[in-house]
Amino acid sequence: MPPSPGGVSNTAAGYFVEWSVPVLIAAIDPAAEAKLDGLNKAVVSGRYLTEHESGSGPLLPVLASSASGMSEYAQTTVQQLAAPAAKPDMNAAWKSAQASAPGRTVATVRTTAQQAYNAVLKGPGTASEENYTGTAIAGYWSVGPVDYQRTPAGALAPHQVGNRPSVWVTGSLASVAMDDENSQYRAVTSHVTPGGYLPVALIKISGVFDQARIRSFAPLSRVPLGAYQPVTAVPATAASRRALHGGDLLPSQNLGGLVSQPVNLITTLSALPKLDSLAYRHVPAADPISVIRVRVAGVTGPNALSRERVNAVAQQIAQRTGLDVDVVAGSSPSPETIDLPAGRFGPPPLTLSENWVKKGVAVAILNAVDKASLALFTLILVVCVLFVGNAATAAVRGRRRELGVLAAVGWRRSRLFATALGELAGIGLVAGLLAAAIAVPVAAGLGLHASPGRALLAVPVAMAVAVVAGLAPSWLAARADPVSSVRPPVVAAGRAHQPRGITSLALLNVARTPGRTLTGVASLAVGIAALTMLTAVTVAFRGVVVGSLLGDAVAVQVRSVDYVAAGATVALGVLAVADVVFLNIRERAAELATMRSFGWHDSTLARLVITEGTIIGLVGSLAGAGLGLGGAAWFAGQLPARLLAIAAAAVAAGIIITAAAALLPAALLRRLPTAHLLAEE
């Protein structure tokens, strides 16, 4: 290795520091690489490699990185010892004694890995782009992956391996570097010339590139070999941050270390056979290519068409070549916790966080989001059906005399059914046309695209909702009995209940119309369930389901529409409860008027009505939160405490909103014509 800036002279004492600077070499197709990530534009000096450049004779053309990627340094202390009384023997015993002898420090020099790397690049030759550096390749090493095992705490612990000391020795290396005697986590294979001294290739640097200038893939979907930087291992605890002095764990001289070195030398595929020569022993296989990156044209994102194009290309490559094809489109870094044990020479144990690539994140999230969005809009239609069905049932009950008269004059049940259902279908037609008319401007205001053709789809949907909701009420209309319809209904006597207060009386009133009450409960439960599950799943996306940068970004971007849908579902559920309370007031108007005549104040009657609405809201919110919580727990695979807090918050919000919505029907009590109602009664 070249000497450090201390220098060596024949007239003065000097020193040198021996470094073993590991450099990772990769072979590329220069033209394809330039199109893939713009490597040609990252050259800061010299020239870029040509496509078929292989070098003449033993010269190996390379692009060299401007940075080593290592943060190590060596501190050299030079001391002046006392002059010996006689000429020393210079044997091992004398050297050992001198090493521990006291002396006067005359110099302290710090040499960084970057300085050593620069010296290796410069070499004893010239630094010109057309001349080799003089650095000979007498051997090279290949390293394997790191094997991990899961700890009881859920972190990953790297499995240590034992590499023989002889694996490091080549003709250019007199001793084993201390780093290579440290803890090893990768199996290292040596490829050296038979005698260990015969160099077969000489490095010729054609140019120097800056890793920071390489156009990497999107930060949200960075994949392996997407950039020429090593995997970043950041400290995950305060103790680890202190041990690393606030920085990251960077590669070292240790070839078998946890963090591998970045790509420092880049050659061409045409020149690669120089390293696959029979002059090297233990060369593993005739297929030196490890990864081929393919960028598919016409891919614009994780949409259906782009996914089909990527899948088709991947399938053709696998069928024609037999290679293992990995689809990395839509992949994203996901943090994994690594527990690194203490090293052999003093490094403390570290808790690190590495971004591992999670494949198919975008597709998985978008598929889940699409299903969630479809489920939310389906729930909106379900609530609409319940809402319209409740209103239609109340309308049929209010028109029972009219329907009874029609039945008495000869209208058949099929005609009554068709008339009631036709009225609701007409209402659905008008609602659909109004929705289509406002859909385009509302979508434009929200930054969404809605063509007039798509907006017109609201018409058949609205009519279908109205027809489905009107089936049961229309059947009730067709069953109208002329005699019972024109005489006042008489309720059979039942078991008497003595209410003890407003709450107990409200419970009895809610139970008097179980069908209507269940409709209100179901409507609100659907909305609260949608809101609970959406919020809980969003939290799960961030912490459990995905936990990746892309997953968080996609979740944030697409959830706004879903929250609007969930909010609309809750609003419809609250309106359904308010409608139930209003219909109860209208049907019990005479009863409420009687209670007022007995001395009940309007405020007391309002409390009664609001309590009824609150009871419906409480039952619906609890049922909805339970359903949403169960769905979220099934989706996330666990039930953390924060999901319970979300469910409790949804229940509280549902009760408060429902109670507030009951204020409007309660305010109508003051307009009840007490005298008129008592006269009719």
Count of C-beta atoms within a 10 Å radius of residue 27: 19
* Residue carrying the six token digits 């027809």: 467
Q: Is 653 strand, coil or helix?
A: helix
* Start-to-end CA span in the chain (Å): 111
Q: What is the mean pLDDT of residues 253-280?
A: 78
The pLDDT assigned to 1 comes to 36
Q: Is the pLDDT of residue 360 over 70?
A: no
Burial class of residue 8, CB neighbours in 10 A (0-12, 13-18, 19+): exposed
Give 434's Cβ-side CA count (13 Å radius): 8
What pLDDT sits at residue 373?
A: 63
Q: Which two tokens stand for residue 390?
A: 């409740």
Backbone angles phi, psi at 601, to 5 degrees: -80, 155
Label residue 227 by pLDDT band (50, 70, 90): low
Average pLDDT over residues 554-576: 66
Residue 544, pLDDT score: 40
Q: How far is CA 202 from CA 52, 56, 271, 316, 550, in A?
A: 18, 10, 12, 39, 44
pLDDT confidence band for 338 (50 / 70 / 90): very high
Please tell me the predicted confidence (pLDDT) of residue 47: 92
Residue 373 burial (10 A CB sphere; 0-12, 13-18, 19+): middle
pLDDT of 542 above 60: no
Confidence class for position 371, pLDDT limits 50, 70, 90: low
Q: Which amino acid is at 68?
A: S
Beta-carbon neighbour count of residue 87 at 10 Å? 6
DSSP string, 160-209: P----GGGG--TT-SS--GGGGS---S-EEEEE-TTS----EEEEEEEEE
C-alpha to C-alpha distance for 373 and 369, rounded to whole angstroms: 6
Pair 290, 323: CB distance under 8 Å: no
7 torsion bin: left (phi>0), alpha (psi -120 to 50), beta (else): left
Please name the amino acid found at residue 572: L
> Is pLDDT above 90 for 253?
no
Write out the two tokens for 539: 């939290």
Using one digit for the tens of pLDDT, what is the confidence trace for 13-49? Answer: 677 777 777 888 888 889 888 888 888 999 998 899 9
* DSSP-assigned beta bridge partners for residue 627: none
- The residues, ordered by sequence, that sit 6+ positions from 653 with a Cβ below 8 Å of its Cβ are 531, 621
> Residue for token digits 């909010």?
567
What is the per-residue pLDDT for 352? 92
The residues pairing with 46 across neighbouring beta strands, listed in sequence order, are 207
Write down the pLDDT at residue 43. 92
Which of these ranges, 80-89, 267-276, 392-401, 514-523, has the smallest mean pLDDT? Answer: 392-401
Q: Any idea which of 50-59, 295-304, 309-318 has the lowest mean pLDDT?
A: 295-304
Mean pLDDT of 446-466: 78
Contacts 24+ apart (CB under 8 A), 408-411: 408/482, 408/486
pLDDT averaged over every residue in the chain: 75
- pLDDT for res 545: 43
Query: pLDDT exceeding 90 applies to what percent of the chain?
Result: 5
Q: Select the highest-mean-pLDDT range: 62-71, 498-507, 524-533.
A: 62-71
Over 60: is that where the pLDDT of 219 sits?
no
Judging by beta carbons within 10 Å of its beta carbon (0-12, 13-18, 19+), is residue 395 exposed, middle or buried?
Answer: middle
CA distance 264 to 62: 9
Confidence of residue 133 (pLDDT cuts 50, 70, 90): low
Residue-wise pLDDT for 155-209, tens only, equals 899 999 988 877 877 655 456 677 788 889 999 888 776 555 555 677 888 899 9
User: Can you give the three-state secondary structure of 207-276, one letter per residue?
Assistant: EEECHHHCCCCCHHHCCCCCCCCCCCEEECCHHHHHHCCCCCECCCCCCCCCCCCCEEEEEECCCHHHCC
Any idea where the domains of the chain sit in the sequence?
A: 24-62+138-201+210-293+328-359, 369-398+501-680, 414-484
pLDDT at position 324: 76
CB 269 within 8 A of CB 259: no
> Among the listed ranges 45-54, 111-120, 212-221, 447-456, which one has the minimum average pLDDT value?
212-221
Tell me the average pLDDT across 576-604: 78
Query: Which of 99-103, 146-150, 639-643 has the highest mean predicted lDDT (pLDDT)?
Result: 146-150
HEC secondary structure over 508-562: HHHHHCHHHHHHHHHHHHHHHHHHHHHHHHHHHHHHHHCCCHHHHHHHHHHHHHH
DSSP symbol at 61 = E
Total residue length of the chain:
681
Specify the range with the lowest mean pLDDT, choosing from 135-139, 218-222, 384-388, 527-531. Answer: 218-222
The burial class, CB within 10 Å (0-12 / 13-18 / 19+), for 227 is middle
Q: What is the DSSP letter of 493?
A: P
Kindly state the tokens that stand for 20.
């073993």
**What is the value of pTM for the model shown?**
0.53
Lowest mean pLDDT among 100-109, 295-304, 553-562: 553-562
Q: Is 419 helix (H, G, I), strand (E, B) or coil?
A: helix
Write the CA distances from 122 to 135, 139, 141, 170, 546, integer angstroms: 9, 19, 22, 21, 47
pLDDT on residue 288:
57
Question: In which residue are the tokens 């400290």 written?
Answer: 235
Q: How confident is the model at residue 6 (pLDDT cuts 50, 70, 90)?
A: very low
Cα(45)–Cα(42) distance, rounded to whole angstroms?
A: 9
pLDDT category of residue 556 using cuts at 50, 70 and 90: very low
Predicted local confidence at residue 218, as pLDDT:
57
Q: How far is CA 373 from CA 202, 270, 561, 572, 647, in A?
A: 61, 52, 8, 17, 20
pLDDT digits (tens, 9 = 90+) for 46-104: 899 988 888 777 788 899 998 888 878 888 888 888 877 777 777 777 777 777 788 88
